Amino acid sequence: MKTTKILIIFCVLLSLQLHAQKYFTRSGITQFEASEKAFEPIEAINTSTTVILDANNGNIVSQVFMAGFQFNNALMQEHFNENYMDSYQYPKATFKGNLDNFSLISFNANNSYDLNGLLTIKGLEKNIQTTVDVKVENDQIFISGSFFVSAKDFNIKIPSIVRDKIANQIQINIDYELIEKK
């Protein structure tokens, strides 16, 4: 009797594990800021980042389109796409990584997780290590955080005439609300 009970519990747990619970969004917010003090702000926002998270093991993939970054200034947006990012040749940046020790089943009050993975911009890969806030509420998973990248890691050439106006360390802010993918 006892063994059957254990067996049933084991089967239930196994089926939970096998059912890949994926969470996703199409409209995640990715922002970057590269302003130097005393110069005009260099920042843009992208509200159409795709993110898919495997809620069982924390595997995460995301993708952001360069052409989806909105600037306040048309000329800056044009330079970003045509001169800095080559958006027609490299239309997107991708991230593939893992939220360490994350699992929806064993989610607890501890809402700070290490995020590790590879960021690819303009075909070049860079390892990213950061800590993000994760919140689970009303069947939604919220992930937010920020990290720094440097333009030269991705072979983004900044002309010397504007070099002083663009920060060496570019801050990337992420804010994603994921819902279950059915």
Partner 1 sequence: MIISISIISIYQYISLAPKKVVAIIPEYSGNANEFNYLVTDNLSYWISKVVQITGKATQVNEDGILINGTIYCQFENKKDIQSIIENQNIVVKGKLVGFDELLMEIKLNQCIIIQ
**Site residues (vs partner 1, CB under 8 A):** 24, 26-27, 47-48, 50, 52, 61-63, 65-68, 70-75, 77, 81, 87-89, 91-92
Token duo for residue 41: 């702000």
Strands (E), 91-182: 92-99, 112-121, 124-137, 140-150, 166-180
Which is closer to partner 1, CB of 70 or CB of 129? 70
> With contact defined as beta carbons under 8 Å apart, do 181 and 41 qualify?
no
- The minimum distance between CB 53 and partner 1, in angstroms, equals 11
Four-residue CA torsion sign, 65, 67, 68, 69: positive
Q: Give whichever of 71 and 147 is closer to partner 1, judged by the CB atom.
A: 71
22/144 Cα distance (integer angstroms):
18
Report in angstroms how near the CB of residue 76 gets to partner 1 at its nearest.
9
- Report the nearest approach of partner 1 to the CB of residue 50 (Å): 5
Instruction: Output 81 or 98, the one with its CB closest to partner 1.
Output: 81
